[in-house]
Structure 1
Amino acid sequence: MSGEAETVDPYSQGTRAEILGWVGGMEAFERGFNARTFSPERRARQAVEDAVSDLTSAASDIYEAGGTAEDVASWTQGYRKRWVAFQQAGARTMNWMITGPARFPVDRNQKRMDIEMRRYEELAVYRDGATKWIERSQRRAERAAIVESDEGGHPETLIGNIRVVENVTLDRLQLIFPDKPTDEERAALKKRGFRWAPSVGAWQRKLTNNARYVGTSLAKQFSPATDLTTVAHPAGGVPSGTDATGNFHHSEG
């Protein structure tokens, strides 16, 4: 046989597989385009390739800015949350040319398209700010190191990519995000009594048993996957929890 074998980029191949894992596989992902286009397979595959390009470009930017593989993984979690939310919102919209004009829910569909656009804008802002993200992340790490410099440290649990810190020195329960929370997340934090403290780079409220429960619940709610890991405790290490990944679905954004 003649000719050269096609070169396969292992990074892109692995990234593509990771993205398909977010949406439950290509077949499930394609179904989200059935009511929107005559070519759901092509649209789904293009969406995946666009995401591969986004992640590849962002990883390069983060490394160039002095970030680590851990930083890339953390940024990717934020991208995943926004990308899946955008795809879920789009999967709820319809095109009357596909479904037919009879009894087409014009007003309801317009509202859903507006939500889809907001989710896209959130994704685009996050995607285009990878370099600024790593700079903010590094500043937060520096502030956190100062806050935790007292002897013994503070009990701290990592849920997804959100740090839940029991800051006994300041008597505050703190939630430390790797990037700026979304509008919905900030509204939920404020509703549950958390306030932004720029001096320490954390959302916090008075340290109580209820604050521990609420903070943990919110962190789980905001995380695309639940990954519980106790990373610091005055009384010694606490065994890490288990993790579980979420699958793509069309019923909730």
Structure 2
Amino acid sequence: MSKVSKQPKGFQCKQFFVAHDQCAMKISTDSLILGSFVDTTNASSMLDVGTGSGILALMMAQKSAPDAAITAIDIDSGAIAQARHNAANSSWPEKVRVEQSPLQEMDHQQQYDLIVSNPPYFADAVSPTRAYASMSESRGLARTEQTLSIDDFFAQTAVLSHAGSRLYCMYPIAREAVVFNSALQSGWHVKQSLSVRHNASSAPYLGVYCFVRVPETVAVETLTIRAGENQYTAEYKQLCADFYLNF
């Protein structure tokens, strides 16, 4: 009797499966919020910075026009292999190209309509709390700013943008002032700000942002993930309805 092969660990969305067993960073609620928040309207060229498993690239592929092209980059060879596998086994293998490259070495002649990233955003693994001091080297590179600081992130994405480009990213809400100042120094202006909190009684822990090159009126919103009895809120279900199987 032949053995039945096990499906690798990952996350099943409505239209695709994402394996993440070979990645330092696993698929999280935060990434699903960011990908659901992104508006791909009029975006034909997109860049996913630090793609990991490729979850954001595939969310963009699902949401974007049939002729859109998504470039997904990462510096980790395991993540690159996993993202390529996930893209090849999706419904949009022709839309997603996965490259092993740091953001700083991308071709500056290329300008993207939309850039999305769940960037490394902890300043130091050896912080006073030492919350990330014991993590693996690959996870440390994915989670901390050893290879991509906030200033570098905004400066490098600015080089790869044009006047009509949009940049989507997220950072801990505690670093919002630093993030906004750094973005402005590189010519990025916040257009949308979404403060995310676990429930109605908790303070926001995450900021999800859309930046543009030309100043616009800023839309400020709050998203609560869970309601009573730990159920997902209606607003969270509405935001992520295109991807969660049970929504």
Q: State the TM-score bracket (shorter-chain normalisation).
A: under 0.3
Structure with larger RCO (C-alpha < 8 A, sep 6+): 1
- Bigger radius of gyration, 1 or 2? 1
Higher strand share: 2
TM-score by length of 2: 0.26
